[in-house]
Amino acid sequence: MNQASNEDCIASWCADDEWCTVTCTAHLIGKKWHPVIVHRLLACGPLGFNALKAEIDGISSTVLSNSLEDLEENGLVNRAIVSEKPFRVEYSLTTEGTSLKPIIEAMDAWGDDYLNRSKGCA
């Protein structure tokens, strides 16, 4: 396993002096809207800000903007300027972001099963 310095690593130490990989994953996609954003970009492909917001019911513009910035800083989302006049930005998944596909699909399947079992909102 690659050892990173404390300043570079977003994970915390586990009890056995190894970096906790679950903590690392949770840090990257564990915020409320992060997996939803990744899910919508996986399903729809690259989207402009307003189109992405329309795909995510209940998210505010500020929260979407902050979440996209965080995902971009962590190398999961790419932000590309596609037009200067009018100014338009498009968001897409990086290779690292796309590699989350099996995790997001597993979350989707588990959530579907859970909601069906609990007769929730599915």
Domain residue ranges in the chain: 32-114
Residue 120 CB coordination number (10 Å): 9
pLDDT on residue 12: 59
pTM of the shown model: 0.80
pLDDT beneath 50, residues of the chain = 1-7
Residue of 26, 14, 49, 19 lying closest to 107 (CA atoms): 26
Q: What topology is assigned to 32-114 in CATH?
A: Arc Repressor Mutant, subunit A (1.10.10)
pLDDT at 5: 43
CA angle 67, 42, 8 (to 5 degrees): 45
Q: Does residue 44 sit in helix, strand or coil? A: helix
Local structure of 77: helix, strand or coil: strand
